[in-house]
Structure 1
Amino acid sequence: MSNVSYSKFTLENAKTNFELTLEENQDLFSKVEPVKPSEILTTILREYIPLATAINTEKARSELLISQILADVRRQLNYRISLFSGTEFNVEADLGLQGYCDFLLSFSSEQYFITAPVLTIVEAKNENIIRGLGQCVASMVGAQLFNQRADNPVKVIYGAVTTGTNWKFLTLEEKIIRIDVGEYYVKEIDKILGIILQPFGEYRENS
């Protein structure tokens, strides 16, 4: 599978190839507390949501919405985590765990290279979130394997597929992929931030 990359996976063949159990229709984040966005992000979204929607390209949504939201997560954690965008993330070519991640958040503050990936984010192509789930699952498996090899104590890998305005979240724990039943719209930014910040709970407590 050396010619296969994250983006080539469908949800079905990711499940089969990595021998995963799929659990759907769960409300995974109902108990997650909303987190208020910074004043900077609030101002940015007020201006950029209508602009990104009007331009309506993947590039605009990525630059004006997704990047801004993830940068605010890093800001809220006092820059103690790292954010990667369009970074090559080659873990195991023979398994197809190679290629570029749209976005990735890591426990480490090291920004020059990936050390402890905990959340991968896939931009939905053609605004099709379901089609992006396979790529997201594959990149999550890559992150899990990376952490296992590096002896990083990361129990759960988080993932998201987003158009910038709509967000769908999932988790990978051992061999179980859980897909959240709902989607969150960017106007629910406090809930989206709460979910993205969940794996960084220990950092938030000390912020």
Structure 2
Amino acid sequence: MMYYFDEQEERGGKQIRLILKTKEEVLGQIVLRLDEPDIAEIGMLLLNTPDKTAWASLLLQRAALHALLHEKKFLKIESAHMAPFEGVYQKEGFVKVAPSFFLKGLHPLESLMDLDHAARALGFVWEGPQMALEKVREETDEVALELAQSPYNIAALEAELGDLIFSTFSLGDFLGYEVSQVVLKGARKFASRMDAMRRVADENGAQSFKGQDAKTLLAWWAEARVRASAEASL
């Protein structure tokens, strides 16, 4: 099934309605309220078929992305919208912090940056960008070594991936970028490209990406990049 998101701003941009749909029907929708300074709130979550919890996950993930793009720190769900999706909320990282609502933190990368800043304060500073970049390459090589194992060690690979992520963010921070903004821009770009790729697939008569060979997927991705770039420049 090939799905799309129809995104509509309401109340002067203080609310976003996200509609999950196919060409034939609406699958579900979610309303995201942006009134509070640091918190985005789910105002409504509806599914045409309530037992399709995968659709609820897709809507919650899209809502979290928009909350991040609006620089919110938390995503909140009031008790009125809990049932029958409590299990989905927990799966998507929400925590029940009171009897009346769930809360999800939206900046898990901040702790990494806090550690990087603390290391700098203790005198652990890169001599230059090339030194920081070399660390990224070193960690990439470590990931490659773990992947070369058959079977690879899941815990060891996870640890090396964490080191790679940290070193990449440390490079961005050293260069003066606000790392959260870099991540947000990357998320925005990837989301627009995925939407474009779904349209390309649909135009080619495909109901999903499953079963497509690598050559086809790469061709669709290349076309999606061109379209997304053109749309972004409008």
TM-score, reference length from structure 2 = 0.25
Structure holding more helix per residue: 2
Q: Which has the higher strand share?
A: 1
- Greater Rg by CA: 2
RCO greater where, 1 or 2, for CA within 8 Å and sep 6 or more? 1
